[in-house]
Amino acid sequence: MKTISHTLLFIALAASSAAFAQDPHAGHGAAAKPAVDPHAGHVMPKAKPAAQSHDAHAGHAMPAPAKDDPHAGHDMKAMDHSAHDADPHAGHAMPAAAKKDPHAGHAMPANPPSATPREPIPVPTAEDFANAFPVLKPHAMEHAPSFNSLVVFDHLEAWDNDHGSGQVWGIDAWFGNDIDRLWLRSEGSRSDSKLGDWSVDALYGHSISPWWDVVGGVRYDNGRETPDLTRAAIGFQGMSPYKFEVSAMAYLGGTRKAELALEVEYDVLLTNRLILQPVVEASITVDDDPRRGVGSGLGHVETGLRLRYEITRRFAPYVGFLHERKFGRTADLHRDAGEGVSDSRWVAGLRFWF
């Protein structure tokens, strides 16, 4: 019995020791209170409810949310899950705004300024166009009164063929201003070391358009075996469309009474310095002049082709080929004198001006 009583006493002491270890106030006279509340029994002010830091909707009556839905508890309309994934704002109440308007939501003036000017420009009238673009009359602009001059040796050439050798010259010169000029011309030939026929023109020229001049004056002809001939000269010269240089002269008086001389030439620029120049000359006479071998009608036609190389703009050597043929009464007069009616020759020469 003694052994059993010792055993029961040991168990009771062990149980009381465990209770004492968990509650340091065990055995003291104190009001019953929870073991984990150190403020139990103290008079404390009424505490405010603690703010919830993680859940803004704590304490609200919310429907049971789904675990994986971040919008659980919001009033959302039924929608397609694919559309919900593409639009993070789907289901939220948002103001309607134009997506393409960069000024949406900004405070803008009620009436924006209009792009139309307050005083629009009036429509131009016919009178306005006439004042802005007047019709310019020839030479309406003032020209400088300066005096100019130009002397051109158009051809200074020589030849040598079966009919002999010879030289030919042709000179054009003018002195004056842009409107009024004095023109001097001379042409002639030399063959068998003797001076042949030659002529000199002294003409007054007046410009009637930007490209054309009217000329008038005197022509003097001198022949080796014929008497001198002086005639009045009148005509026009200039540049026609497509840059053909044209000269048409009428010579009046003397034994021929009237003669018309035409000349046309054109410059073909093969390069900036290599230029091919075709030339055509013709003459028509009213009456016969047997002493000079000239008959009425179409007297002669000469065609030429000269190729020059401009070493400088003022100096250009050239080579060429010329063919001359007589027609009508002029051809008959030359046949009667035992002369040929056609002639072809190669030439070489210079063209220069100053």
Two structure tokens written together for 73:
């508890």
pLDDT digits 0-9 by tens, 70-115: 555 555 544 444 444 445 555 555 555 445 566 666 656 555 555 6
Confidence at residue 53, expressed as pLDDT on a 0 to 100 scale: 44
Listed range (48-57, 126-135, 211-220, 319-328) with the worst mean pLDDT? 48-57
pLDDT digits 0-9 by tens, 229-282: 999 999 999 999 999 999 999 999 988 889 999 999 999 999 999 999 999 999
Two structure tokens written together for 175:
């002195």
Q: Which residue has the tokens 């005197």?
A: 218
Confidence of residue 193 (pLDDT cuts 50, 70, 90): confident
Two structure tokens written together for 48:
């405010």
Confidence at residue 115, expressed as pLDDT on a 0 to 100 scale: 60
Beta-strand ranges (E) seen in 15-100 are none
Listed range (131-145, 157-171, 207-221) with the worst mean pLDDT? 131-145
For the segment 121-128, the average pLDDT, to the nearest whole number, is 88
Domain residue ranges in the chain = 203-353
Question: Is 215's pLDDT higher than 60?
Answer: yes
Of the chain, the percentage scoring pLDDT greater than 70 comes to: 64
Spatial CB neighbours of 104, under 8 Å, sequence gap ≥ 6: 97, 98
What is the rounded distance in angstroms from the CA atom of residue 284 to the CA atom of residue 239? Answer: 22
- Environment class of residue 349 by beta-carbon count within 10 Å: exposed (0-12), middle (13-18) or buried (19+)? buried
Bridge partners, residue 295, by sequence: none
Helix ranges restricted to H, 56-95: 81-86
Q: Specify the higher pLDDT residue, 65 or 114.
A: 114
Query: Which backbone phi and psi does 97 adopt, to 5 degrees?
Result: -140, 145
Two structure tokens written together for 328:
């009508």
What is the rounded distance in angstroms from the CA atom of residue 199 to the CA atom of residue 189? Answer: 10
Confidence of residue 316 (pLDDT cuts 50, 70, 90): very high
Q: Specify the higher pLDDT residue, 167 or 108.
A: 167
Helix (H) or strand (E) holding 14: helix 2-22
Two structure tokens written together for 150:
């130009």
**Rg of the chain in Å (alpha carbons):** 61
Confidence of residue 142 (pLDDT cuts 50, 70, 90): low
What is the rounded distance in angstroms from the CA atom of residue 323 to the CA atom of residue 345? Answer: 7
Question: Is 42's pLDDT higher than 80?
Answer: no
Q: Which residue has the tokens 């049971």?
A: 64
Query: Which backbone phi and psi does 113 adopt, to 5 degrees?
Result: -65, 140
For the segment 333-340, the average pLDDT, to the nearest whole number, is 90
Please answer whether residues 236 and 248 qualify as being in contact, where contact means their C-beta atoms are separated by less than 8 angstroms. Answer: yes
For the segment 141-155, the average pLDDT, to the nearest whole number, is 82
Q: Specify the higher pLDDT residue, 189 or 57.
A: 189
Query: Which backbone phi and psi does 284 adopt, to 5 degrees?
Result: -130, 130
Question: CA-CA distances (angstroms) from residue 36 to 21, 46, 313?
Answer: 14, 20, 122
Two structure tokens written together for 7:
């055993």
**N-to-C CA span, the chain:** 166
Confidence of residue 226 (pLDDT cuts 50, 70, 90): confident
Please answer whether residues 270 and 276 qualify as being in contact, where contact means their C-beta atoms are separated by less than 8 angstroms. Answer: yes
What CATH fold (topology level) applies to the domain 203-353? Porin (2.40.160)
Q: Specify the higher pLDDT residue, 293 or 280.
A: 280
Question: Is 28's pLDDT higher than 90?
Answer: no
Question: Is 21's pLDDT higher than 50?
Answer: no
Two structure tokens written together for 100:
């393409």
For the segment 284-300, the average pLDDT, to the nearest whole number, is 91
